[in-house]
Amino acid sequence: MTIEDREDAYLVTHALAKHTLSQLRDVETEQVSFRKGLVKLGRICGYEIIDGRMETEYVEIETPLEATMGEQVRGLDDIVIINVLRAATPFVEGLLKAFPRARQGVISASRDEEAGRDEDGSFPITVDYVKLPEIHEEDTVIIADPMLATGSTICTVLEHVVENSPDPENLIVLSAVSAPEGLLRVDEAFPEADLLTVSIDDRLDDDGFIVPGLGDAGDRAFRTT
Ligand SMILES: O=P(O)(O)OC[C@H]1O[C@H](OP(=O)(O)OP(=O)(O)O)[C@H](O)[C@@H]1O
Ligand SMILES: O=c1cc[nH]c(=O)[nH]1
Ligand SMILES: [Mg+2]
């Protein structure tokens, strides 16, 4: 079975999301444009989550002229966004434009690339810092990381998130680019999570980088090597 056959991996298909991701992929896109692109993509993905996952309700409102019925999105106060340091930081900045009242969590989880990949293809993950808000049953939890490669980072983050929290109404893993094997790893370990991504790329290379991908998102956004 491939990831496309699974019912819980969804693509963000908005044309602007694809447009922005294509700019991010371009090796000529320098730091400032790259960071701004991640912010823009986060905002578009946020709007897509609202459009595809959240309900609206009718409300009575008073315009300057008369009373009428309007519509408002339900649950905007029950959003939790988890920022996986460090590449997710600009991506989360964009998400916050869609969800300005989100409660935020931060987790520093990074791949130990020097240790290399384990036999099952995963990376050892170093977790240095975890600060998560309390999660409630009515929450929509969005774990944001632009890159989902082997899935090792997201599996580690999910362990921290599901530990001691009730099942939230929605548990969403949001990435910009993902690799099929990483999506499968996360899906197998956490079937309760919905996997939302802008692109499922072809494969991973021997170093665990997504191909064609967009390179090292953290390094490109933070101008490190
Ligand atoms: O799916 P995986 O194989 O775990 O890889 C994906 C992770 O790798 C990158 O982070 P990295 O460890 O390079 O940290 P950084 O964001 O600080 O660069 C990326 O931002 C993801 O968090
Ligand atoms: O392709 C990849 C894989 C992990 N992290 C990145 O930034 N890019
Ligand atoms: Mg990196």
* Index of the ligand 2 atom closest to the CA of residue 219: 7
Q: 152-162 vs 180-189: helix axis angle to the nearest 10?
A: 20
- Measured CA to CA in angstroms, residue 30 lies from 33, 37, 202 at distances of 6, 10, 24
pLDDT for 165 equals: 85
Residue at 194 is within a domain: yes
pLDDT at 7 exceeding the cut of 70:
no
The protein residue whose alpha carbon is closest to atom 3 in ligand 2 is: 209
Of all protein residues, the one whose alpha carbon is nearest to atom 2 of ligand 2 is 209
List alpha helices for the chain, DSSP H: 15-25, 31-53, 88-98, 152-162, 180-189, 217-222
CATH number at residue 123: 3.40.50.2020
Percent of the chain with pLDDT over 70: 96
Q: What is the mean pLDDT of residues 21-48?
A: 98
Which tens digits make up the pLDDT trace of 141-173? 999 999 999 999 999 999 999 997 889 999 999
Residue 107, domain member (yes or no)? yes
The confidence score (pLDDT) of residue 167 equals 93
The DSSP code for 207 is T
| 81 belongs to a structural domain | yes
Report which bound ligand comes closest to the CA of 158. Answer: 1
Is the residue at 68 inside a domain?
Answer: no
Tally of domains in the chain = 1
pLDDT over 90 percentage in the chain: 92
Q: Which residues 6+ apart lie within 8 Å of 183 measured at CB?
A: 3, 6, 9, 148, 151, 195, 197, 200
31-53 and 15-25 helices, crossing angle to 10°: 150
Q: What is the CA radius of gyration of the chain?
A: 18
d(CA 83, CA 113): 21
State the average pLDDT over residues 26-48.
98
Residue 65 lies in a domain: no
Residue of the nearest CA to atom 6 in ligand 2? 216
Q: Which residues contact 194 (CB under 8 A, 6 or more apart)?
A: 8, 10, 170, 171, 172, 173
The number of C-alpha atoms within 13 Å of 58 and in the hemisphere containing its C-beta is 4
Alpha carbon of 100 to ligand 1 centroid (Å): 25
Give domain status of residue 28, yes or no. Answer: yes
Taking 90 as the threshold, does the pLDDT of residue 9 lie above it?
no
Report ipTM for this prediction.
Answer: 0.97
Please tell me the pTM assigned to this model. 0.95
Buried b or exposed e, range 118-138, using 16+ CB within 10 angstroms? eeeebbebeeeeeebbebeee
Question: Which residues sit in the known binding site?
Answer: 36-40, 86, 111, 145-153, 210, 215-217
The pLDDT of residue 10: 84
The rounded distance, in Å, linking the Cα atoms of 87 and 39 is: 11
Which ligand is nearest the CA of 88, by number?
1
Range of the domain at 90: 3-54+75-222
| pLDDT reported for residue 88 | 98
